[in-house]
Structure 1
Amino acid sequence: MTVRQFTAARGIAAARFWGMGLLGSAVLAASAQVAVPMWPVPATLQTLAVLLLGALGGSRLGVTSVALYLAEGAMGLPVFANGTGGIAVLAGPTAGYLLGFLGAAWIAGRAGQGALRQAAVLGIAHLVIFVPGVAWLGGFVGWERAILAGFVLFLPGTAVKTALAFAVLRAAARR
């Protein structure tokens, strides 16, 4: 392989990676629009998308997709829940959850092959979203409300989304 061929191959690989990252950010933006209005945090399919982006694409692609999504939202594109965007969202009550997506995508990318490991890693990844989310939300509504409205009320949906991510990951592993 010549230097020119090597350079071209690397360029194609980089374009493919960034293209997949943009596609991942679009999937995340679409999942944000499937929202059930709740106060102070809407219930969306974003956490499912974050887990799948990391678990199926790997940590690097998952984090890249989330970072692109956050950058798009920060620039004012209407990618956040209910078609919102802008820096104000990244400073508002849901900002901790949004930033938690980065760590969750990275952790989900470490799911590995075994079923027990995958289930545990996906559950931990979901918790990685809740920790900064509830901590940040507590500054807006107080700790008791943050824990109840930002964590406890989401547990049933979180269990379903974690199980769904696990099922998709197991199905993909069989292919």
Structure 2
Amino acid sequence: MTPAIASPRLALRFWALALLGSWVIAASAQVAVPLWPVPMTLQTLAVLLLGALGGARVSVASVVLYLAQGALGAPFFANGLGGAAVLAGPTAGYLLGFLPAAWIAGQARGGWWRSGAVLVAAHLVLFVPGVAWLAQFVGLERAAMAGFVLFIPGTLVKTGLALVALRGIRRQG
């Protein structure tokens, strides 16, 4: 049953959390290392935490709202960019990769190893559409290097941070 059908109160809570999540992703996009053709941001950390803490449905809805607001012109994408053109540019595959990553991160339940494996999988899955789309602009070899290999250290650090934060938050609750 969707929140909209369950009750107006639950629907309002669901969409309020999703909107807040979209703003968290937008804020994390502004923390960027200006690499070309894909900047390194904290968006993936935000997507992992939203998924792990809010569950798959809320986090996917957050990503959808984030993408919609950015496409409509809000300066939500990396480096304060906004507009539909960003969703046709070199980073579009990564942005769309947030959708399956959020859903997978929403499955991060259980112990340290299971949650860690789920977060690694969530983080890695977004590289598939990201590199595939980027390859249209710079070729597959360069896309793999500039859009994946270069990001491996940051991916490991952000996944580790997400796991540590998740464990700390769950212990507090």
**TM bucket by the smaller chain?**
over 0.9
Question: Is 1:27 matched up with 2:46?
Answer: no
Following superposition of structure 1 onto structure 2, how do residues 1-175 of structure 1 map, counting pairs within 5 Å?
A: 10-175=7-172
Q: Tell me the distance in 2 between the aligned counterparts of 1:60 and 1:126.
A: 17
| Deviation (angstroms), 1:112 | 1.1
Counterpart CA distance in 2 for 1:150 and 1:120 is: 22
Find runs of 4+ consecutive structure 1 residues off by over 6 angstroms: none
- After TM superposition, the score normalised by the length of structure 1 is 0.94
TM-score, reference length from structure 2? 0.95
RMSD between aligned alpha carbons?
Answer: 1.2
Q: What is the rounded CA distance, in whole Å, between the counterparts of 1:111 and 1:84 in structure 2?
A: 31
* CA distance, structure 2, for counterparts of residue 87 and residue 47 of structure 1: 21
Partner deviation per Cα, 1:10-39 (whole Å, 9 max, x = no partner)? 111111111111100000000000011001
**Matched residue type, 2:156:** A
- d(CA) in 2 for partners of 1:25 and 1:173? 22
Q: How many residues align?
A: 168
Alignment identity in percent?
A: 70
Tell me the secondary structure at the aligned position of residue 84 of structure 2. coil
CA positional deviation for 1:173? 2.1
Shift of 1:114: 1.4
Q: Which runs of 5+ in 1 are unaligned?
A: 1-6
Q: Take 2:140 and 2:10, find their aligned partners in 1: how far apart are those partners?
A: 46
CA distance in 2, matches of 1:91, 1:101: 15
Q: Which protein is bigger by CA-based radius of gyration? A: 1
CA distances 1:13-66 after superposition (whole Å, capped 9, x unpaired): 111111111100000000000011001000000000000010000000000000
Unaligned runs of 5+ in 2: none
- The code of the aligned residue for 2:132 comes to A
